[in-house]
Amino acid sequence: MGVWIAALLTLCIYSFLYKDNPFYKFAEHLFVGVAMGYSAVLTYRDGFVPYVWRYLKAGFTGEPEKLLIIVPTIIGILFFMRFIPRLSWLVRYPIAFSLGLGTGIALPLGIQANIYQQMYGTLSPFGALGKLSPFQIFNAVLMVIGVLSTLTYFFFSAEHRGGIRWVSRLGIIFLMIGFGSAFGNTVMGRIAILIGRMRFLLSDWLHLVR
């Protein structure tokens, strides 16, 4: 029965290819509801229970240091104030804590990962030029040219005139090649999902293929 339900829901979604219709709308809304229900259960079972409930239980049964969890719990509960118009300003407190802590932790790590490490990657081949083949040296030079010209394209504080305009145009060329290669890969990614569904319909549902 599960296979039939899955197959019928699949066909409801595919009916959108003809045009928008009640079957598609039904399936679309059902998807959103079921997905949110799934996330809600998992957030409770694998978020609230291990991080809050078990800590509180342990705190009240022999590990009093774990009762400190009450503080972030109260801060988190303030999120519920969003639904009481008179008290909705209290939502700013959990937002302040989560944004402040999250941004503070991520800031030095982000600089390291996205700036220093990427700059290292761009320049590191030039530290070992003697060990590289001519083709690898060409690629390293091409990479530096690509990075600098693309960055120039995104630099809007100076007008793109004269030399900057030509460097910026070179950057666009690198960007177009990048987007083209992304498109080429995306085609495969999207068709892969379709293959999965077709296989389900032809094999698991209609038994036309073993």
Partner 1 sequence: MRQRIPLLICFICGMTMAIQFFIPHQYSQALYEEAVNWLRVIAVFGFVIGLGTLLGIHTRRIRRGGSNAFYSGVLIAGLVGMVIAWLADMKEERFFDWLFYNVQTPLDSTMFSLLAFFIVSAAYRAFRARTLEATLLLVAAILVMIGNIPIGNNIWDWLKLKVGFLPEGLPVKVKDWILFNPNMASRRAIYLGVGLGGVAQSLKIILGIERSHFGGGEE
Partner 2 sequence: MKIRWFIYILVALAVAVPILAKIYFPVKRVSDSTRMVYDYIDKLPEGSVVIFSFDYGPSTAPELQPVAEALLRHCFERNIKAIGIALWPTGKLLGQKAFELVGEEMGKRYGEDYVYLGYRAGFSTVMLQMGEKIGKVFDMDYKKRPISQFPLMRRVKNYKDIDLLVDLAAGDSVEAWITYAYTKFDQKLAAAVTMVIVSQLYPYIQAQQLVGVIPGMLGAAEYEKLIDRPGFGMLGLSIQSIAHVLVILLVVIGNVEFFLARRRR
Residues in the chain: 210
H or E element at residue 183: helix 162-199
Contact with partner 2 (CB under 8 A): which of 4, 18, 135, 154? 18
CB of 16 to partner 1, least distance (A): 6
**CB count, 10 Å around CB of 167?**
18
- End-to-end distance of the chain based on CA atoms, in angstroms? 19
| By CB under 8 A, residue 163 contacts partner 2 | no
The answer to whether residue 26 forms part of the interface with partner 1 (CB under 8 A) is yes
CB of 158 to partner 2, least distance (A): 25
**Would you count residue 35 as binding partner 1 (CB under 8 A)?**
yes
- Minimum CB separation from partner 1 for residue 26, in Å? 6
Q: Which of 58, 147, 160, 164 binds partner 1 (CB under 8 A)?
A: 147
Among 20, 21, 39, 206, the residue binding partner 1 under the rule CB under 8 A is: 39
Q: How far is the CB of 205 from partner 1 (least distance, A)?
A: 10
CA-CA-CA-CA dihedral for 159, 161, 166, 170, to nearest 10: 20
Instruction: Compute the CA torsion angle 142, 148, 153, 155 (nearest 10 deg).
Output: 180
Q: Nearest CA to 150 among 126, 130, 168, 177?
A: 168
The binding track of 103-132 with respect to partner 2, each residue x by CB under 8 A or -, is --xx--xx-xxx--xx-xx--x--------
